Amino acid sequence: MTAEPRPLGADDERLLRLVRSRLEAVGARASVERVWETAFSAWVIRVAPEARGAAPIQAWVVEDDVYLGVSESYIELYPLDERAWTWVGAVIDAVILGLIEETGRGSDKYIRLLIDAQPSGFGRLLMPMPWRWRRVRRFAPYDIVAPQS
C-alpha cells in the first residue's frame, strides 16, 4: 500500500525556505530537491552537496516533529516550535561548514556537531568510551562560492 502525497503544508514550505536560505547565505554549492517519500508519508527535502566528502542532508516534517537525516544518522526535533526551528538551522549550518563527525553502525550510531562553538551530540552510544578512542568519520565542508559584487 502506498500513501498518496498529502498537500504541502506551511511547515513543509518553511523547511524548504530554511534549507535554501542557509545554503544561499554562505554560497554553498548543492542540489536541492523535494520529493514525496512513501516510507515516511512526508515531503522530503534532499540536499546533495557538490563537494566530495561532504555530508548529504535529508529533512522532513511529520505532524509536530521535524527530522533531519545527516549522512547515515537521524535527528528528531520536537515539538516543532521556534526553538526546534533554531536547531534545524544550526544543524544545517554545521553540516554545510563541515563541523560534523559520525561514529558507530546500526543502533550504535552517533553524530556530533559543533554548534555555536560547543559540541552537540545526537544518537545512541551503546559502549561508553572517550570520543577520541572511537573510529570517527569526518565530513568535508560544502563548496562555497564567493558572492559576486
> Is the model more confident about 54 or about 126?
54
What was the pLDDT predicted at 72? 87
The whole-chain average pLDDT of the chain stands at 88
Whole-number pLDDT of residue 105? 77
112 strand-pairing partners: 101, 121
Could you report the per-residue pLDDT of 92-129, keeping only the tens digit for each?
Answer: 999 999 999 888 777 777 888 887 766 676 665 556 66
User: What's the pLDDT at 103?
Assistant: 84
Please report, as a single letter, which amino acid is at residue 23: L
pTM, rounded to two decimals: 0.86
Task: Provide the pLDDT for residue 23.
Answer: 97
Cell of 1: 500500500
CA proximity to 131, closest of 95, 108, 103, 109 = 103
Q: What local confidence, expressed as pLDDT, does residue 61 receive? A: 97
Residue 148 pLDDT > 90: no
Report pLDDT digits (tens) over 64-103.
999 999 998 888 999 999 999 999 999 999 999 999 988 8
Measured N-to-C along each axis, helices 82-96 and 10-26 cross at an angle, to the nearest 10 degrees, of: 40
Q: How far is residue 149's CA from residue 90's CA, in Å, rounded to a whole number?
A: 27
Q: Residue 114: what pLDDT?
A: 80
Tell me the pLDDT tens digit for each residue of 7-53: 999 999 999 999 999 999 999 999 999 999 999 999 999 999 999 99
